[in-house]
């Protein structure tokens, strides 16, 4: 015995159809929208991250924090006069790059 179809055909005998809407159309069961085929996508399981990802992430965070602290302690060359903010910017950029690398960690 054949399985009943999950689709129903609307046509001339459907209540509420106007003469202009008498064409036969296939719809998904229980909905008024047309049924469409959606192919199944193949998912590839990603393994754990390579070892360099967390090492790079923590190294960049540590280097950025260290540069910022050493800048405020006036240990770095040119930071004693207080006018050079490039060390601060460099430290913040290193921390930001570390955060961007952390998004690749699985």
Say what percent of the chain tops pLDDT 90: 36
Q: What's the pTM value of the predicted model, to 2 decimals? A: 0.57
Structure letter (DSSP) for residue 30: T
Q: Is the pLDDT of residue 51 over 90?
A: yes
Helices vs strands, H then E, count in the chain: 2, 2
CA distance 70 to 93: 15
Three-class secondary structure of residue 105 per DSSP? coil
């Amino acid at each position: 015995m054949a399985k009943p179809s999950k689709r129903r055909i609307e046509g001339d005998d459907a209540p509420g159809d106007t003469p202009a809407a008498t064409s036969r159309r296939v719809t998904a069961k229980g909905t008024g929208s047309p049924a469409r085929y959606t192919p199944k996508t193949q998912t590839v399981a990603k393994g754990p991250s390579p070892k360099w990802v967390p090492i790079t992430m923590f190294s960049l965070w540590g280097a950025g924090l260290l540069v910022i602290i050493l800048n405020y302690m006036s240990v770095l060359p040119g930071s004693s006069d207080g006018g050079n903010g490039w060390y601060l910017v460099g430290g913040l950029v290193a921390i930001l790059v570390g955060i961007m690398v952390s998004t690749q960690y699985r």
